[in-house]
Amino acid sequence: MFLSAQNIKNEKLDLFQYNYISEELHNQLTRHKKVVKGDLLQVRVGGAATIGQTCVIEIENDFSIYVSLCHIRLNEKACNYYIFKHLQAEA
């Protein structure tokens, strides 16, 4: 699976529709860091209504992400749901 900004909706990961890439490209894109359960994904490119939308990954699945998403991994001392709620708060 190859996820993009369209897959972050209403503070959740939406897997209703997604694209596929080759295993070779997936391995290239994830060779340094893979998205794992507990990581955050945030929309960084798109319209004003979607930029900043964030979700916590709650599934264990192997996927790649498009450049429209920002991958955030916190250290074990940080609470991912606290940071998630903070990122969703309006200034």
Q: Structure tokens of 91? A: 């200034």
Identify whether the C-beta of residue 41 lies closer than 8 Å to the C-beta of residue 18.
Answer: no
Q: What is the pLDDT of residue 50?
A: 87
Q: What is the pLDDT of residue 76?
A: 84
Q: What is the pLDDT of residue 91?
A: 55
- Tell me the pTM: 0.87
Identify whether the C-beta of residue 12 lies closer than 8 Å to the C-beta of residue 55.
Answer: yes
Q: What is the pLDDT of residue 78?
A: 87
Identify whether the C-beta of residue 6 lies closer than 8 Å to the C-beta of residue 17.
Answer: yes
pLDDT in tens, 69-81: 999 999 888 888 8
Q: What stretches in the chain show pLDDT beneath 50?
A: none
> Alpha helix (H) ranges present in the chain?
23-29, 80-88
Q: Structure tokens of 6? A: 């369209």
DSSP string, 2-30: EE-GGGEETTEE--SS-B---HHHHHHHT
Q: Structure tokens of 75? A: 């250290």
DSSP classification of residue 90: -
